[in-house]
Structure 1
Amino acid sequence: MLKVDSIVAGYGRTRILHGVSLNVPKGGLVALLGGNGTGKSTTLKAIVGLVAVQEGQVVLDGRVINDVPAEQRASLGLSLVPQGKEVFAGMSVEENLLMGAYHRRRDRQGIASDLEGVYQRFPRLKERRKVNAGMLSGGERQMLSIGRSLMARPSMLLLDEPSAALAPRIVEEIAEAILGLRDLGLTLLLVEQNVGMALDIADHIYVIRGGRIAYEREVGDGIAMEELQEFYLGGQEH
């Protein structure tokens, strides 16, 4: 569904990505792993159009989308859950969710149905639907960020470090929720530093280091945590 082909991207004259390539099959769950400053988030931003691609191609469903503006990429089915559990703190949980469907605001029946679907997936959000989002815990904010993206009815969801700064029990809840999204038919690209979580839920992993893909492997294909950590922390490219 998504092909990132040798993209070069960065900020101003500073290049962050140096020929990154990866593939996400339709219905798949692919993880992009790496430490801080390795280019993970920049890769996602290049895919959704928030960072310009200087070289290479981003191909969605067979269409090169390099020149498609970010707001139009959302209408093609791409939705980004940004890092940092970003929410509209002064708005209620339900108002935040409805903002995700703003471009569909005339579809009242569909929005109501999707809202109920989010509440079924995240019952805690339904319990707190009238509470200002700024009052939520970190885990609840992450659920809200994911739920708001779902309200856009994406075909592909990009998640930027959804487990960051969360307690292990909440990480397990988020991981289960992500697996549930794949059951809905969504295609998922997950950016993470949490190696264990990625190995638990992903079909395929890539490791990015210094703006380049240093390692890739199908999960379950004889992969060992020790081997992965070697490429994650440094070592020979593979």
Structure 2
Amino acid sequence: MLKLENVVAGYGRTRILHGLSLEVPRGGLVALLGGNGTGKSTCLKAIAGLVTPQDGTVALDGRVINDVAAEDRTAMGLSLVPQGKEIFGGMSVAENLMMGAYHRRRDKAGVAADLEGVYTRFPRLKERRRVLAGMLSGGERQMLSIGRALMSRPTMLLLDEPSAALAPRVVEEIAEAILSLRDLGLTLLLVEQNVGMALEVADYLYVIRGGRIAFERAVDDGVGMDELRDFYLSGAH
């Protein structure tokens, strides 16, 4: 469903990605692992249309989308859950969720049904729907970020470090929520530093280092925590 080929991207004259290639099959859950500054978030921004590749191609459903505006990519079914649990703190939980469906505002019945679907998936959001989003806990903010993305009715979801700065118990909740999204038929690309979470939920792993893919393997092929830890620490290929 998603294919990046030899993508070069960065900010101004600074290159962050140096010929990155990866694929995400339809219905798959692929994890992109790497430390700080390796290019994970830049990769997601290149996919979402927030950064324009200087070279290489980003293709969605076989269509090269390098020149497609970010808002049009959302209409094509691509939705990004950004790092940092970014929400509108001065708006209520319900208002934040409705912002995710802004481009669908004429589809009142569909939006209402999807809102109930989000509340069913995340009961805490329903309980706190009238609370200002800025008053939520870190875990609740992450649920809200995911819920808001779902309100755009995506076919592919990009998740940028959803477990960051969360307690282990909350990370488990988020992992379960991510797994449950596959029941909706979604394709997912998960960017993470949390190796344990990635191994728990993903079908396939990529490791990025220095703006390039340095390691990849199907989770079913027996990749383990120790192997990935050694890879991170030693820089082995």
- 1:100 corresponds to which residue? 100
Unaligned runs of 5+ in 2: none
The equivalences for 1:133-212 within 5 A come to 133-212=133-212
**How far off is 1:71 after superposition?**
1.0
Counting aligned pairs with the same residue, the percent is 79
Question: Residue type of the partner of 2:2?
Answer: L
The equivalences for 1:1-238 within 5 A come to 1-237=1-237
Question: When the two structures are superposed, what TM-score results if normalisation uses the length of structure 2?
Answer: 0.99
Question: When the two structures are superposed, what TM-score results if normalisation uses the length of structure 1?
Answer: 0.98
**How far off is 1:223 after superposition?**
1.2
Whole-Å separation in 2 of the counterparts to 1:194 and 1:46: 22
Whole-Å separation in 1 of the counterparts to 2:82 and 2:130: 23
Whole-Å separation in 1 of the counterparts to 2:142 and 2:183: 19
**How far off is 1:119 after superposition?**
0.1
Alpha-carbon contact 1:24-1:30 (below 8 Å) kept: yes
**How far off is 1:183 after superposition?**
1.4
Whole-Å separation in 2 of the counterparts to 1:234 and 1:35: 13
Question: Residue type of the partner of 2:91?
Answer: M
**How far off is 1:194 after superposition?**
0.2
Root-mean-square deviation (CA), in Å? 0.7
Unaligned runs of 5+ in 1: none
What SS does structure 2 have at the residue aligned with 1:233?
helix
Alpha-carbon contact 1:214-1:231 (below 8 Å) kept: no
Question: Number of matched residues?
Answer: 237
Whole-Å separation in 2 of the counterparts to 1:222 and 1:152: 36
Question: Residue type of the partner of 1:87?
Answer: I
Whole-Å separation in 2 of the counterparts to 1:164 and 1:221: 27
